[in-house]
Structure 1
Amino acid sequence: MQVFAAPSFEELVRVSARIGCLSFGGPAGQIALMHREIVEERGWVSEEQFLQALNFCHFLPGPEAQQLATWIGWKLHGVRGGLAMGLLFVIPGALVILGLSMLYALAADLRWFAALFVGIKATVLAIVVQALLRIAGRALKTPLHKALAAGAFLALAAFALPFPLVVLGAGLIGFAVAATRPDLLGLKNDSTPPPTTPRPWTLTLRAIGIGAVLWAAPMIAVLALLGTDHALWKVGLFFSKLAVVTFGGAYAVLSYMAQQAVDTYGWLRPGEMADGLGLAETTPGPLIMVTQFVGYLAGFRAPEPFSPVVGGLLAAGLTTWVTFVPCFIWIFAFAPWIERLSHAQKLKGGLAAITAAVVGVIANLTLWFAIHVLFRQTSDVAFGPVSLSLPVPQSLDWRVALIATTAAVLIFAMRKGILPVLGICAAAGLVLGWI
């Protein structure tokens, strides 16, 4: 495939804005859009470069499509190109979901609005099942992969272990296995010699230093002005920690995010995380933008000394900042190392194990959504170290079950896209809400 001359910065900005406004459909659709626009139609990077960068971005915490966009901009125009393309990938969706979050907070208690989201929640359940099957088919290639996925599922669903601990444990197992039996993780020995160019330590350390200061700056301001008891501090701290363990995309951390937001902090009511994901599915940009929805509701419901809307806007802005600044840090710090990292067998083993464990994490999310979306009540049952949250059968919501079944038929049997299915099921929710 022919590779043409690098575009001007102005042309890069125009194409980046177009991609940012059209990037619906989750990471698969977003990556396909970038491939068509950047590789096939314009030839700004080669097929080999695109795939190598995509593999690199899969290894990083955070949304891989947004990081791939940042890498493309960095490759073509350095740091300013990475900032332009990365920001334009995020900003259109961020503005849309911010507006939808404001509407949600103001109208959540209205009957018609609640009925609308009955359909959206049911559709989200089918979407998450689809994501689970798709990711499992891609990630679970060996028996060890399947064992890691099953172990992660049991650790979260039965033993309630913290999500970061499960991710770290899987990474350590993969690191150790890759040192002795890489074949168990489906890894092949790379016989190509590593690059002989000087290691880019200066670029990496500069990017980490500047990025860390920018990442921490709003948190320092919140600490100085409002203290550690304010909702803004808790929101910023929680999503800062989440940003460094978000392997596997939004689906991997949704159940952990929901558990903390509902049970620990009280920012959301049960079932509202499904509403947030439904909103994120209808907007361009990465699905992890659902964090902005959580942040807005947290600030809206505990705004003092601000008004609810101002509190929500500040919390949404802070959430978006601490979620996405690390994505730029990873690219600017480690993109110069891409060729060298492709030879790091132990690192690839650790990340392959994390990818497998993420399947178990998403399976736990699927179970969590099914219980909280289909049933109005749950009961906690404990057997020693095992703790289960079981649905109360009599509390089954027949409307949600019917719409979820319809969504599954539309997605799996009729191969309909996510946006049409969301529209059909939202309308069904409105109709059934008045019966």
Structure 2
Amino acid sequence: MAGTEGDAGPGPGPAGAAPAPAVPLRTVLREWGRIGVIGFGGPPAHIRLLRQLCVERRGWLDATEFEDAIAVCNLMPGPASTQLAIFCAWRLRGRAGALVGGAGFFMPGLVVILALSVLFVSASPPLAVLGAGAGAGGAVPAVALAAGASLATPSWRNRPATARWFCYLAAGLAAAATIGPWLVAVLLACGAVELAVQRRRGPHPPTPDPPRERPHEQEREPGTEGGPGTEGGLGTEGGPGMLRGLAAAPLALTWAVGGGVLASIAWVAIKVGGLSFGGGFVIIPLMQADAVSRYHWMTGPQFLNAVALGQVTPGPVVQTVAVVGYAAAGIAGGLLASAVAFAPSFALVLLGARHFDRIRGDRRARAFLQGAGPAAIGAIFGSAITLAREISHPWQYLVLAGALVLLFPLRRGVVLTLLSAAAVGVTVALATGTVAP
């Protein structure tokens, strides 16, 4: 019967959720791969495409469960839209679906960004490529400001208190602009402070959401995926251990085979994939400090190119780390960086998806995010400062001003803005014979 094998059936879903249909793996690969190809625009675009597929067009998940999954993914560290894509695939086809769907989601962007890295991070790129990179790089600080602004309004609505919200925001901004390598410690500290403040107010009576009754709810036999004999649909024998091994495998292989630069790439990537609260831009100062200042894998302008490539290619913005890996150790470094960066997302969903309802209702998780969330938004604003410092040509400041106009008063998209900036850069380079007139 479907579901008796750990990989064969759909994931059980959170408590009270109706069983999802068992969708063929080839369908999961095709549909999630399609999103990976056309998913330009970052998390808002990815969430919209997943909703259209899973809720509106196919009816695989109901709207309430989908919104709950969005909320929980935003509570967890790591790229939220990637975790949402993995969760939706897990609901349809269990562990195998999660692995296939997650790979389909980020692999197209990885292929594209590594191909572009060969051009933009090479020792002597063509003049037109230099111009495109310099033009897009000039617009990147404006993109960071737009990313922070898009998150500020929802965070403000859920703020714990006005004064503390501004303090957390300021702490994140200052940390990103000054002590990039220690940014994550500041984010965690802000979350811990808010958690302590809310605890000091004294215990509150628990008010869990009542379980929602869903149509077609049915019992599962003991031992089937998600049934009473399993833990989170993982099976009683070796499931969690296997999944923890999945998360640790890229790191273990790195140390065993390469060490040295590969180990450094893996360490940077694990920080990017596991600590990026609020989106990929949060981790930009830390990645910049490692790639440019600590390991000297890239120059500052090359790092601007990497961030721009992460924005204009489809799939998650966290793919920027693949460019860093490529700059350090070629294609092998780019593949390793991507594998390690996405491993925490797979592990978090595969180990915890069945408990998403409880995670969302946990006041400690909410309190922590009410402190770390504003700090992460401040860090995104602060990343605009660190990125602007890497601008090296006067005409790039004009590009930056134009990008601000496109993104804010005119409300144009990020991809269009970066492509327009790249076109300006190509024009300048070809007209003057250099990117530094």
What TM-score do you get using the length of structure 1 for normalisation? 0.83
Q: Does 1:178 align with 2:198?
A: yes
- Check conservation: 1:125, 1:404, Cα contact below 8 A: yes
Distance in 1, matches of 2:181 and 2:319, equals 25
1:26 is matched with which residue?
A: 42
**Superposition RMSD on alpha carbons, in Å?**
2.8
Assess, with a 3 A threshold, how the Cα gap between structure 1 residues 218 and 174 changes in structure 2: closer, same or farther. same
Q: Is the 8 A contact 1:16 1:85 kept in 2?
A: yes
Residues 108/278 of structure 1: CA separation in 2 closer, same or farther (3 Å cut): farther
The one-letter code sitting in structure 1 at the alignment partner of 2:348 is W
In 1, Cα distance between the equivalents of 2:413 and 2:86? Answer: 27
Task: Show the 5 A alignment for 1:124-135.
Answer: 124-135=140-151
Counterpart check, 1:370 vs 2:396: no
8 Å CA contact retained: 1:204, 1:332: no
Q: Tell me by how many angstroms 1:108 deviates.
A: 4.6
Matched, 1:261 2:277: no
State how far apart, in whole Å, the 2-side matches of 1:231 and 1:118 are: 27
User: What's the secondary structure of 2:397's corresponding residue?
Assistant: helix
* Aligned counterpart, 2:102: 86
Aligned to 1:38: 54
CA contact (8 A) 1:208 1:329 kept: no
Q: In the alignment, which residue of structure 2 is the partner of 1:427?
A: 423
Asked whether the 8 Å contact 1:70–1:86 carries over to 2, the reply is yes
SS for the counterpart of 1:45 is: coil
Within a 5 Å distance, the mapping from 1:23-422 to structure 2 comes to 23-106=39-122, 108-141=124-157, 142=159, 143=162, 144-158=164-178, 162-181=182-201, 190-192=207-209, 200=231, 203=234, 206=238, 208-227=240-259, 230-299=260-329, 312-373=330-391, 376=392, 397-422=393-418
How far did 1:417 drift? 2.3
Shift of 1:40: 1.1
Asked if 2 retains the 8 angstrom alpha-carbon contact of 1:248 and 1:355, the reply is yes
Paired letter, 2:167: A
Instruction: State the alpha-carbon separation in 1 of the partners of residues 239 and 168 from structure 2.
Output: 34
Question: What is the CA–CA distance in structure 2 between the aligned matches of 1:4 and 1:342, rounded to whole Å?
Answer: 21
Aligned partners of 1:122 and 1:403 also within 8 Å: yes
Alpha-carbon separation, structure 1, partners of 2:361 and 2:275? 23
| Counterpart secondary structure, 1:330 | helix
Partner Cα distance (2:136, 2:235) in 1: 43
**What one-letter code is carried by the residue in structure 2 that aligns with 1:281?**
Q
Number of aligned residues? 394
Distance 1:337 1:70 in 2: 15
**For residue 409 of structure 1, what is the amino acid of its counterpart?**
V
Structure 1 unaligned spans of 5+? 300-311, 377-396
Distance 1:283 1:202 in 2: 34
Residue 405 to residue 241, structure 1, CA distance change in 2 (3 Å): closer
- Tell me: higher relative CO, structure 1 or 2? Use CA pairs within 8 A at least 6 residues apart: 2
Percent identity of paired positions between Structure 1 and Structure 2: 28
When structure 1 is superposed on structure 2, of 282-291 and 33-42 the one drifting more is 33-42
Residues 353-405 of structure 1: CA deviation (Å, up to 9, x unaligned): 211110111121011112222xx3xxxxxxxxxxxxxxxxxxxx331111112
**How many angstroms apart in 1 are the aligned matches of 2:96 and 2:272?**
26
Per-residue deviation at 1:27?
0.3
- The residue type paired with residue 231 of structure 2 is P
Q: d(CA) in 1 for partners of 2:297 and 2:335? A: 16
C-alpha distance in structure 1 between counterparts of 2:414 and 2:252, whole Å: 40
